[in-house]
Amino acid sequence: MADREIRQPGPDHPITIRPNPARILVTIAGKVLADTSSALTLTEASYPPVQYIPLSDVDASLLQASDHTTYCPYKGECSYYSIPAGGDDSVNAVWSYATPYPAVAEIADHVAFYPKGVESITEAGA
């Protein structure tokens, strides 16, 4: 939307995105939801690092698009997915920036998971 404030990452609110060479495995209800060696680790200000996983490495059949949306002035419009296999804890447990702002363009076509909304997110080797 035109009236949305757009902010640039900087010293007061740094954002870094780096390839993560480790294998990231996300499970829900005993099923593999995502398996990748191509994750991007996004570190933003004082928040914990988040693994953004390519959509091509996610079993999209386990996701259900949600009507929930949010806005980040650094990243843009955010849409969400629920994971029906995870029950109530997995409502809006997955998020994505389909058209992120240029400063974080690398996270396009990636999703991230709230740890409390999935069974596990594990990182192995590099």
Task: Express each pLDDT in 62-115 by its tens digit.
Answer: 999 999 999 999 999 999 999 999 999 999 999 999 999 999 999 999 999 999
One-letter amino acid for residue 89 of the chain: D
This prediction's pTM: 0.94
- 115 is a domain residue: yes
Summarize the chain as % helix, strand, coil (round to 5).
Answer: 15, 50, 35
- 33 is a domain residue: yes
Number of domains comprising the chain = 1
Domain span including residue 105: 15-124
CATH of the domain at 97: 2.170.150.40
User: pLDDT value at position 2?
Assistant: 59
- 79 is a domain residue: yes
One-letter amino acid for residue 64 of the chain: Q
- 81 is a domain residue: yes
User: pLDDT value at position 125?
Assistant: 74
